[in-house]
Structure 1
Amino acid sequence: MGHIRYASDVGAPVDAAFAYAEDFQHAPQWMYGVRAIDTPGTPGSGLGAVRTMKVRLLGVIPVRTTCEITEYRRNAVIGYTLRGRVYGTVTLRFDPLGYERSVLTCEADYPPPRGVFGRLCHGLIDAAAKSALRRTESRLRREIEAFHGTDLVGRIA
């Protein structure tokens, strides 16, 4: 099982950062590879919310995957489980850092590649997963700060 973790400071309080991240409508702007989100008739947010996403693997291969919130603690944690051709878990953790600041920790767990070809491409898959999570984390941080109207050190933009 592959595991990746990135953490960064965000120039927004935990409640503002969490409010932005939990809204599925914003996901195509910050979640790497997501092009669109379809909304079936499930709850809007919170534990059990399910969405179907149109994703581009490695930027070129279009696939559909299901995203379900399987871990949810208000203003603390959002855990997404991805099912379909893209699968694994992505967890966002929000911790207070001080006045108008917070720490965003992004974690991803994904299964090891299967088959002979998968084992041969293990290094490539690891590198692609690390790059995707790093881009997701940096985009989410920038979008939260823009949403809150501050830059990294909390100044009004």
Structure 2
Amino acid sequence: MPSIVEHSVEIAAPVEKVFAYVDDFHKTREWMYGLDKIEHVGGNQHGVGAEYDGVMKVGVSLSSRIRCTAYEENKMIELTSVRGIRNTQRWTFTALDDNRTLVDACISYSLPGGPVGATMAAGIKPFVGIAVKHTSETLVRNVESLRG
């Protein structure tokens, strides 16, 4: 059974600016808590088919290859694992007005079963709340401080 984390944050910036920042995998380590590594490994760099290898350190190291499975510029990005820890991230972007954007994140993940999965779950659980709070605060601060 997957675990699901949902969170929304409002950013004082136009939707195009927010989307471009989140869509740039080179910047992801600047704002995503626990992301130790991300590298483009196949397909386009943006949009459906783009693939990335990543390592999250959240109590334990979790590796995954993710592929962009849905993409609508300035509206939505969905990334789904194709190898490693099973997870799906769906980021939606809603323009509230010309200079305010609502970002909704829904992240689901499944850990292996048995003793290994139980150990991993115990190591991850304390970090989930911290990760969501830190990621949101950093994303807002970083995007709002961009020029242009």
Common fold: TM-score over 0.5? yes
Cα distance in 1 for residues equivalent to 2:36 and 2:91: 20
- Offset of 1:25 from its aligned partner? 0.7
Corresponding letter in the other structure for 1:7: S
Asked if structure 1 preserves the Cα contact closer than 8 Å seen for 2:81 and 2:87, the reply is yes
Residue aligning to 2:110 = 111
Residue aligning to 2:65 = 66
SS in 2 for 1:144: helix
Residue aligning to 2:26 = 25
Residue aligning to 2:5 = 4
Residue aligning to 1:98 = 97
Percent identity of paired positions between Structure 1 and Structure 2: 25
1:16-36 CA distances to partner (integer Å, 9 max, x unpaired)? 100111111111111222223
Q: Where do residues 7-156 of structure 1 align in structure 2 (5 Å cutoff)?
A: 7-58=8-59, 61-111=60-110, 114-116=113-115, 118-119=117-118, 125-148=124-147
- With over 3 angstroms needed to count, the CA separation of the structure-2 counterparts of 1:84 and 1:132, relative to structure 1, is farther
SS in 1 for 2:144: helix
Cα distance in 1 for residues equivalent to 2:67 and 2:45: 11
- With over 3 angstroms needed to count, the CA separation of the structure-2 counterparts of 1:84 and 1:138, relative to structure 1, is farther
Residue segments in structure 1 that go unaligned for 5+ positions in a row: 150-157
1:53-75 CA distances to partner (integer Å, 9 max, x unpaired)? 243242xx445421211121111
- With over 3 angstroms needed to count, the CA separation of the structure-2 counterparts of 1:45 and 1:54, relative to structure 1, is same
- Offset of 1:13 from its aligned partner? 0.8
Residue segments in structure 2 that go unaligned for 5+ positions in a row: none
Cα distance in 1 for residues equivalent to 2:44 and 2:123: 37
Q: Runs (4+) of structure 1 moved beyond 4 Å? A: 119-124
**Root-mean-square deviation (Å):** 2.5
Number of residue-to-residue matches in the alignment: 147
- Offset of 1:130 from its aligned partner? 3.6
More strand as a share of residues:
2
Residue aligning to 1:154 = none
- With over 3 angstroms needed to count, the CA separation of the structure-2 counterparts of 1:112 and 1:25, relative to structure 1, is closer
Cα distance in 1 for residues equivalent to 2:38 and 2:119: 32
Asked if structure 1 preserves the Cα contact closer than 8 Å seen for 2:111 and 2:120, the reply is no
- With over 3 angstroms needed to count, the CA separation of the structure-2 counterparts of 1:47 and 1:19, relative to structure 1, is same
Asked if structure 2 preserves the Cα contact closer than 8 Å seen for 1:4 and 1:130, the reply is no
| TM-score (ref. length: structure 2) | 0.81
Asked if structure 2 preserves the Cα contact closer than 8 Å seen for 1:67 and 1:80, the reply is yes
